């Protein structure tokens, strides 16, 4: 899993070669993926920390895709990446 994106009542799971859309909530995925590899960085995104290539104060880059970074989640990202 590269990242997970909220789509209303559905969740889009983006993997290396496939994309899946399932009926679920972000909260369910956040609880299931609560280990050190995944972090919710925005109300609509959970990212795989091992796949992050670059990040700024506003975005996280994974595979040339810019994913928004919430202001309130910046400190959690820094702590998770030990920056």
Torsion angle, alpha carbons of 14, 17, 18, 24, to 10: -30
Residues with Cβ < 8 Å from 67, sequence gap 6 or more?
3, 41, 42, 45, 47, 59, 60, 61
CA distance 20 to 68: 20
For residues 60 and 41, the answer to whether their CB atoms sit within 8 Å is yes
Residue 83 has pLDDT above 80, yes or no: no
- pTM as predicted: 0.93
DSSP 55: E
Q: What are 20-75's pLDDT values in tens digits?
A: 999 999 999 999 987 789 999 999 999 999 999 999 999 999 999 999 999 999 99
79 phi/psi in degrees, rounded to 5: -65, -40
Phi and psi at residue 3, in whole multiples of 5°? -160, 170
């Amino acid at each position: 899993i590269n990242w997970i994106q909220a789509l209303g009542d559905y969740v889009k799971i983006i993997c290396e070669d496939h994309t899946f859309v399932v009926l679920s909530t972000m909260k369910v995925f956040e609880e299931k993926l609560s280990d050190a590899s995944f972090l919710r960085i925005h109300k609509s995104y959970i990212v795989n920390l091992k796949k992050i290539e670059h990040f700024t104060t506003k975005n996280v880059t994974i595979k040339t895709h810019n994913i928004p970074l919430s202001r309130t989640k910046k400190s959690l990202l820094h702590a998770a990446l030990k920056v």
